[in-house]
Structure 1
Amino acid sequence: MSLQLRQGISVQFQGYPYRVLDVQQGRSVTLMDKTNAYIKEMSFDEANHYFSLGKLKVVEDDGYIFRDDNLPPIPSALPAHLRQSMQRRLQYVMGILSQTDKTSCERTVRPIAQSVAKAIGDKKIPSCPTLYRWCRDYQNNDEDIMSLAPRTQNCGRRHGQINPDVLELFYSVLDRCYLTKHRNKKRHVHQKLVDEIYLENKKRPKEEWLSFLSYGGFCKLIKRVLDPFIEMARRYSERYALRYFRTRDRGPAAFYPLERVEIDHTILDVIIVHPITKEILGRPTVTVAIDRRTRMVCAIYIDLAPPSSVAVILCIKQAVTSKAELLQQYDLSADYIWPVEGRIASFWMDNGPEFHSHFHKQLCGDLKIDLQYCPPGMPWYKAVVERFIGILNTRLIHRLPGTTWSNPEMRANYPSEKLACITLEELRQLVYKWVVVDYHNTRHSELGETPLQCWNRLIEDHPIPPLSNSSKLETQFSLSFHRCISNGRISTKGLIYHHPHLIHMQECAPKNTKFMLRIDPEDVRQAYIYDPTSKALMRLDCITHAIDGHMSWRDYQAMRKSQPIHDTGTDNIAVERVMNDKAALNEEIFQLQEHADQIMRKSKGKKSSRSRKKASVEHLAVPINVNATVIDDADADDWEIESDTLRGDGNV
């Protein structure tokens, strides 16, 4: 059995997997190691030798279907003009074989060929030897129709005629100048090859000069001999090439609704303005949760703040709860429904810090939601939500005034800032309407039906289990803190809460005990504290003066950050003067303290001299106990023990 190699097939060489990059019959074979992209070249005779020894094996079941005669495996893969020629030959062969077995007899074959030509409208009747050859090939190949296909596509020179010395220079320049991290352009590398050939010709007599390779031939030769993976790995990096040439699979699949919900966020391509002043506020951030099986949007939360754990919590809250109140708020409850609610089996997300937060993990653990993080650099694990964000931008956001488009090329001269007129609340209303009216009722190409139809069909066989009551959910979707009670109040981040029972909890608990405080991220006035004695959550009253009405956690944090350190009514000169006056005041206080210390040291020096004289007269009459501790706050700095007193007379 001879070695049959084709470009693209997989082989095993000495037990390692390789792929055939190039085969020149009778000349050379180029293999690429699939594990490390290492290139191995050998002659065709060496490949046959390794094949006879069993070191080179062709992988049979590799998903390739091909013929040994270098023709396409099926007739429909042939070009149109070759298919017509094959059908013409088949008409003659079938007409001859159906009437006679003497295909080599001209007197018998000629009338049959003339009748076939008249029937099919062929003006040029093939010769009898040609008809005999067609019939013979058809019968010898078990009546395979492909045996009648013309072989003209295999005619001519397949690889051209290039001097081997030019090829050697070509490979050398390719390795030194093209396959490098500098990523030189082909035109510059071709000029280098021309220079190399010119220098080589200067060493040779004129009759042995090498022919120059044109730029078009140079590009064609690169495309023919160089594997795209190797080109990208050498010019960019192996990691970049592996990522680009990865297997385009659809990723993990889901079989019932809410089995796998993908969540992600991005910045929308539109500019938001203030509702009153019409001042530009920036581009909003959208957090989306979508069901992979039905393509139903579970939740979509839009805010001007950057991605955070608060946005993730609010998005999850919207995903598992009813959307009836949301639809009623935007006058959609009468005609449309958004039925996605209930317990979610698993969340799939990337490795952003907001998805690793304590709040997020604790909430999903309480709701029994499994968390799955996509491997780094593999966005196709959550391809559905990535695709939905792109659809949201192209179908809706790019049609709104003030859009920034996807890139500067698409934006061109579009005046986004001048045309911006949409507020955040108007954008939310437009997005919710688009999701409920358009997206959920548009046929999905992969599902074959609309997402809403798919959801209604699948929940009949797999109902979604409901969650607990609303009062319990209100506390579950709260921000959790652990703080100590001080003076009958508990506070965090500048928010102060009070309840008459807090002072009793403080006194009954051990010192420095931290209690769990839960704050509603949508309204910071709604807060609860857990009483470990009664095993209950107790609602607190917010007594912070800055909180007058309904205020979300993000609005409160933004208000705190916007408060200036100095008085905004003073200019830079006034601020600098205040700072200098403060420094002078501190310096004056320090000088007063230093002056007072000097006076005290002088007065204590006089007092200590008088005390020593008095002690010299009376110390013999009073027995001294050296182990006794004498405390005198007034003269604490001048305590002394006389050496004569410590020595005594030996009878102490």
Structure 2
Amino acid sequence: MPNQHTVQIGARYELNGDLVEVINQANGRIFMRGVNHKGALYLPETEVDQLIRQGRFVPISSALMDQQKALQLVRLDAAQRLKLDHMSYYIQNLIEMFHGSLPRKKTMAAVAIMAADRGDPKPPKYTKLYEQMKLFLANGKNTLALVDHATSKQLRPKRLSQESLEVMQDYIRHHYLKTTKPPALMVYKLFVAHLEELNLHSDSKLDIPSPSTFYRALEALNSYDVDRARLGAKAAAKKHGFGKGIHVPERLLSRVEADTQEVDVHLVGEDGIYIGRAYLTVLLEVLTSSVIGWSLSFTPPCFEKTASALSHALRMREDGSPAGLMEELVVDNGPEFYNASLLALANRLGFTVRFCSKGQPNQKPHVESFFRTLNLQLIHGLNGTTKSNTTMRGDYDSEGEAVMTLDEFRAIVDDWILNYYNKTSHGHRYLPANVLWERYMDKMNPPKVFTVEALSFICISTHFCTINRGRVRFKNLAWSGPGLPIIENNLKTSQKVEVLYDRTDLGTVYVRDPSSGTFYQADGVHSYQFGLSMYEHELVQKKLKEEAKLFTGEEARQTLRRIWQALSESTANNARRKRAHLRDVRNNPTQNITAPNNLSDDAQHINEHIELAEEIDLELINDTLDDDDDYETFELPRK
């Protein structure tokens, strides 16, 4: 039984409550995409009528008429225009008379009277009227629907036999739709060779199509399915992506986006020896496109790095540059953001953390645009830049041309953000970021900022230990201060004291006197500790344990340097190993496939399986629906 409902390409429906749009219809399937969730859906044509009767597939809006018909209407001659006017007159009057229905006898009698009044010698038959009224109503009573399709005499194309068609579809499915992206001409030649081989062993010869026939078959394929098969799911989703603009309330700090990227420039140490690439974490206020906080260091992505950038964003500024506590922080699912520590900190300070869907960087487009601007207007012009890829870099020796230290590079980036980026306009904005910040600032309720002393507790952790000879120790680190011997003298045997330390900077700790409750400052005994994060120190300890070396300040500094360099080189080394391995296999195809051993000396000092992610306390996160195309919001419990 044929389908009663005709599905139009471009029409929108509600499928089980989700708004979808028809994209294509071929091979007995209807290809649709969600308007809101953006997913790809396939519906068999035979299921349409049943779903409509069940109320699960509800028409919402019809497809607009082809714009070519508007041009065709303009090009009509006098006779064709008169014929269109007659049909429009009949249809509109019949709708008024019978309210959409067409009883045959009454309809033909009414048409005969109308034809006599208009002087139409050849009024349309009932079938023509029925089809035209159905088309007219389906397109929102659009007169363009009544325009006849332009016809021209064409030679009927030669039809292939069913067996030839099946072989062609098989070659398209198994040879053309592959991630290796073989050329269409190569697949066509394989297909023709297959048909020729079949014809050699059969009396009935199969038709061999021309290349144009094969190319027409490829053009008839759904472009999304082709890209998904040849490019991959993520690349296809990106290529066929669409979406509405992100609505931002006209309220300062209502939305802040954050991201961490490895900077495209190589750096050296104070001795001029190459170290690697640094990591930059940025917090960007969306309404004004102002950068309010950032952290640039060799520290790889971790909570400590995020806390450092967040502390900078909340810090009180004497120069009045943009800063303040945000309402919502939009981040991705990287280890520096997706951890229990950040969620607990957000709960304590009173802002919401909103996680983007996995693999959807366009859900925080403003900070992504910032990094693109930073690379194009600053980073890619510095000595030692790696550019964005090897093609752009060409023969440039990035490591050999590296001349900047981290402190020098940090000063350049700070100056560029404060005195250039935050003082220029971006996107559709016609005013500089700092001017917009002043304009949107509520003088009666300014952004909430904190003093340096208050922010020192943003990433504070505690540890209990004893005092030995005026020093406290924790994880092979030691701190000493003038107040510690006094506390030690008043302690009982084996009595422990509470030590507060900042996970982002282990250079200074605070020791609490159990008797008076007073905190005494203690400074690190090794210069290695200053500016060191707990995450980096744990990496150093792990590496020294593997190498069975005693912990000393000098040894720790050298190990930390090797870790920075190895982390920076890991991506390049992996690519280099793969290329060398493929080259060896091509040169000696009979040899067994073995893992290459061409790591650099520095890269061999670090375990490639270092876990960068921090374990997440799932008790801080309520269960939420997992939707890969929408934001995931975690509700944090209030105390």
Q: TM-score, normalised by structure 1?
A: 0.62
* Aligned residue type for 1:410: M
- Point out the structure with max Rg over C-alpha: 1
Residue 215 (structure 2) aligns with: 219
* TM-aligned CA deviation for residue 31 of structure 1: 2.0
- 1:369 paired with 2:351, answer yes
* Aligned residue type for 1:61: I
* Aligned residue type for 1:32: F
Distance 2:317 2:203 in 1: 87
Q: Is the 8 A contact 1:401 1:421 kept in 2?
A: yes
Structure 1 residues 66 and 356: CA distance shift in structure 2, 3 A: closer
* TM-aligned CA deviation for residue 257 of structure 1: 1.8
Distance 1:53 1:387 in 2: 44
* TM-aligned CA deviation for residue 494 of structure 1: 1.7
* Aligned residue type for 1:502: I
Residue 224 (structure 2) aligns with: 229
Q: Is the 8 A contact 1:30 1:41 kept in 2?
A: yes
- 1:552 paired with 2:531, answer yes
Q: Is the 8 A contact 1:290 1:384 kept in 2?
A: yes
* TM-aligned CA deviation for residue 507 of structure 1: 2.7
* TM-aligned CA deviation for residue 426 of structure 1: 2.9
SS of residue matched to 2:354:
strand
Residue 326 (structure 2) aligns with: 344
* TM-aligned CA deviation for residue 453 of structure 1: 2.9
Distance 1:270 1:52 in 2: 57
Residue 267 (structure 2) aligns with: 272
1:594-619 deviations in Å (ceiling 9; x for gaps): xxxxxxxxxxxxxxxxxxxxxxxxxx
Residue 387 (structure 1) aligns with: 369
SS of residue matched to 1:528:
strand
Residue 292 (structure 1) aligns with: 286
Distance 1:554 1:316 in 2: 15
SS of residue matched to 1:419:
coil
Residue 256 (structure 1) aligns with: 251
Q: How does 1:118-267 map to 2 (within 5 A)?
A: 130-138=77-85, 140-141=87-88, 155=152, 161-165=158-162, 166-179=164-177, 184-202=182-200, 209-214=206-211, 216-224=212-220, 226-234=221-229, 245=240, 247-251=242-246, 253-267=248-262
1:150-203 deviations in Å (ceiling 9; x for gaps): 965x65669954424333332233234334567554334322321333245446
SS of residue matched to 1:285:
strand
- 1:441 paired with 2:408, answer no
* Aligned residue type for 1:507: K
After the TM superposition, which of the residue ranges 242-251 and 142-151 deviates more from structure 2? Answer: 142-151
Q: Is the 8 A contact 2:290 2:434 kept in 1?
A: yes
Q: Is the 8 A contact 2:9 2:23 kept in 1?
A: yes
Residue 6 (structure 1) aligns with: 8
* TM-aligned CA deviation for residue 392 of structure 1: 0.6
* Aligned residue type for 2:301: P
Q: Greater relative contact order: 1 or 2 (C-alpha under 8 angstroms, separation 6 or more)?
A: 2
SS of residue matched to 1:387:
helix
* Aligned residue type for 2:166: E
Q: Which runs of 5+ in 2 are unaligned?
A: 34-38, 93-141, 541-552, 560-639
Distance 2:254 2:51 in 1: 54
1:348-390 deviations in Å (ceiling 9; x for gaps): 3233333356765555444333333333333233222222112
Residue 507 (structure 1) aligns with: 492
Residue 391 (structure 2) aligns with: 409
Residue 518 (structure 1) aligns with: 501
* Aligned residue type for 1:279: I
* Aligned residue type for 2:477: G
Q: Is the 8 A contact 1:197 1:212 kept in 2?
A: no
Q: Is the 8 A contact 1:138 1:145 kept in 2?
A: no
- 1:31 paired with 2:30, answer yes
1:189-246 deviations in Å (ceiling 9; x for gaps): 322321333245446668x6514231x442332121x213333445566677557655
SS of residue matched to 2:293:
strand
Q: Is the 8 A contact 1:402 1:421 kept in 2?
A: yes
Q: Is the 8 A contact 1:290 1:296 kept in 2?
A: yes
SS of residue matched to 2:420:
helix
Q: Is the 8 A contact 1:497 1:543 kept in 2?
A: yes
* Aligned residue type for 1:515: E
Distance 1:373 1:452 in 2: 27
Residue 485 (structure 1) aligns with: 466
* TM-aligned CA deviation for residue 296 of structure 1: 0.6
* TM-aligned CA deviation for residue 398 of structure 1: 0.9
* TM-aligned CA deviation for residue 547 of structure 1: 4.2
Structure 1 residues 448 and 250: CA distance shift in structure 2, 3 A: same
1:463-508 deviations in Å (ceiling 9; x for gaps): 43434544333x3145423121234642224222342442266439
Structure 1 residues 199 and 338: CA distance shift in structure 2, 3 A: farther
* TM-aligned CA deviation for residue 399 of structure 1: 1.7
1:385-426 deviations in Å (ceiling 9; x for gaps): 222112111111112222111000111122333433333333
Q: How does 1:466-615 map to 2 (within 5 A)?
A: 466-473=448-455, 475-477=456-458, 479-487=460-468, 489-492=471-474, 493-498=476-481, 499-503=484-488, 506-507=491-492, 513=496, 515-519=498-502, 521=504, 524=507, 526-531=508-513, 534-536=516-518, 538-542=519-523, 544=525, 546-547=526-527, 551-553=530-532, 559-562=553-556
Structure 1 residues 14 and 408: CA distance shift in structure 2, 3 A: closer
Q: Is the 8 A contact 1:10 1:58 kept in 2?
A: no
Distance 1:287 1:210 in 2: 62
* TM-aligned CA deviation for residue 515 of structure 1: 1.4
Distance 2:144 2:31 in 1: 32
- 1:460 paired with 2:442, answer yes
What is the aligned length? 481
Q: Is the 8 A contact 1:21 1:30 kept in 2?
A: no
Distance 1:360 1:348 in 2: 12
- 1:66 paired with 2:47, answer no
Distance 1:458 1:160 in 2: 66
Q: TM-score, normalised by structure 2?
A: 0.63
* TM-aligned CA deviation for residue 268 of structure 1: 1.1
* TM-aligned CA deviation for residue 313 of structure 1: 2.4
Distance 1:157 1:452 in 2: 66
* TM-aligned CA deviation for residue 319 of structure 1: 0.6
Q: Is the 8 A contact 2:471 2:478 kept in 1?
A: no
Distance 1:543 1:196 in 2: 76
Q: Is the 8 A contact 2:294 2:310 kept in 1?
A: no
Structure 1 residues 249 and 148: CA distance shift in structure 2, 3 A: closer
SS of residue matched to 1:283:
strand
Distance 1:53 1:259 in 2: 43
Structure 1 residues 389 and 512: CA distance shift in structure 2, 3 A: farther
* TM-aligned CA deviation for residue 339 of structure 1: 2.3
Residue 379 (structure 2) aligns with: 397
SS of residue matched to 2:306:
helix
Distance 1:22 1:543 in 2: 67
Structure 1 residues 145 and 421: CA distance shift in structure 2, 3 A: farther
* TM-aligned CA deviation for residue 552 of structure 1: 2.3
Q: Is the 8 A contact 2:384 2:400 kept in 1?
A: yes
Q: How does 1:104-123 map to 2 (within 5 A)?
A: none
SS of residue matched to 1:269:
strand
